[in-house]
Amino acid sequence: MDNSNQRYKEFGDFLKTRRAKILPSQVGLPEGTRRRTPGLRREEVASLSGIGLTWYTWIEQGRPIQVSTQLLESLARTLMLDNQETIHLYTLAGQAPPTNFPNYDESVDPMLQHVLDSLEFSPALIMDARLNVIAWNDAASKLSLDYSKISLYKRNVLRIMFTNEEFKETFTDWSSAAQGMIARFRTVYSKFIDDPWIEELVNELKRESKEFNLWWSMHNVKTEDTRFKTIIHPVLGKLDFEETSLLIADNTSLRMTVFTPMAETDTKEKIKQFIMREKI
């Protein structure tokens, strides 16, 4: 067996051993009673990572499959790899590990999740430095998107802004909101300009969205600030929020974004009644 074939085999074997260590409950799946082997099934890893089962099966079988840096990051998240395991994953795939990549151990600190959950009537998210959504509260799921139904590979707010038609329809002025997001993302891009994951995301969005391709070429930049946001909910109608973005003190690569119902509007009352009805 030549070196390249051995590398593909090692890559596939590594993935198999890592998925065997993950309990279904750790990724929000039921344990079930008909599992013949411990850990996740291939189809579960493929689904959670946003790739086809056949393709993922070929990777585990050691076939000469070329994988992107975005897919590697998605696999690292799904399999909850630590930093050392992530470096090993990239190396086996023949890719340079990105600099300053986040730790994929579990999800956010339970205390941070508790903060999110305590904001019962304010949708709130926690994102990493690349704008990947890693935690959210129930209000965000009910009023914006159910992020648990979006694969890790696609759970990036910039990608969602330009490729998710359901999300686009919630904006009264999607064009302005999308251009503002690009301008804020430009400041992130400057910090990760050598990161192949970021470069691949940008190139993919250039291909998939003519609007992104046009506005990205303008090189507009904008810092994070307090903003006002109006969305159109399919049931509740017009909702007005103040959008505040805060760095997490213990991990400044993470940012919490909170959408607080604006005072002197009926937004909070609408949300309160809606969520309370959902609980009944």
Domain boundary among 92, 118, 137: 92
- Do residue 194 and residue 133 come from a single domain? yes
For 49, phi then psi, to 5°, come to: -95, -5
- Do residue 151 and residue 36 come from a single domain? no
DSSP code per residue over 138-153: HHHHHHT--GGGS-GG
Domain boundary among 60, 92, 124: 92
pLDDT of residue 121 exceeding 90: yes
- Please tell me the pTM assigned to this model: 0.69
Residues of the chain above pLDDT 90, percent: 46
Residue 7: pLDDT band by 50, 70, 90 thresholds? confident
What is the pLDDT averaged over residues 24-49? 79
What is the pLDDT averaged over residues 136-163? 89
Residue 256: pLDDT band by 50, 70, 90 thresholds? very high
Amino acid, single-letter form, for residue 83: N
- Do residue 168 and residue 237 come from a single domain? yes
pLDDT of residue 55 exceeding 80: yes
The mean predicted confidence, pLDDT, of the chain is 86
Residue 3: pLDDT band by 50, 70, 90 thresholds? low
Is 100 inside a domain boundary? Answer: no
- Do residue 37 and residue 172 come from a single domain? no
- Please say whether the beta carbons of 30 and 9 come within 8 A: no
- Do residue 136 and residue 260 come from a single domain? yes
- Do residue 69 and residue 202 come from a single domain? no
What is the pLDDT averaged over residues 187-212? 85
| Rounded to 5°, angle at Cα 36 from 31 and 42 | 75
- Do residue 140 and residue 59 come from a single domain? no
- Do residue 114 and residue 57 come from a single domain? no
Q: CA 165, CA 171: separation in Å to the nearest integer?
A: 11
What is the pLDDT averaged over residues 59-83? 87
pLDDT at residue 195, as a whole number: 74
pLDDT of residue 104 exceeding 50: no
Which CATH number characterizes residue 27's domain? Answer: 1.10.260.40
Is 156 inside a domain boundary? Answer: yes
Is 215 inside a domain boundary? Answer: yes
Is 101 inside a domain boundary? Answer: no
- Do residue 86 and residue 119 come from a single domain? no
Is 104 inside a domain boundary? Answer: no
Which CATH number characterizes residue 174's domain? Answer: 3.30.450.180
Residue 80: pLDDT band by 50, 70, 90 thresholds? confident
- Do residue 86 and residue 120 come from a single domain? no
Give the chain's domain count. Answer: 2
Is 105 inside a domain boundary? Answer: no
pLDDT of residue 168 exceeding 90: yes
Could you list the residue range(s) of the whole structural domain that residue 129 is in? 110-279
- Do residue 162 and residue 272 come from a single domain? yes
Domain boundary among 57, 92, 127: 92
Is 217 inside a domain boundary? Answer: yes
Is 103 inside a domain boundary? Answer: no
pLDDT at residue 224, as a whole number: 67
Q: Which ranges in the chain belong to alpha helices (H)? A: 3-19, 42-49, 53-60, 69-78, 83-92, 110-118, 138-143, 157-163, 165-168, 174-191, 196-208, 210-216, 267-279
- Do residue 78 and residue 153 come from a single domain? no
pLDDT at residue 103, as a whole number: 47
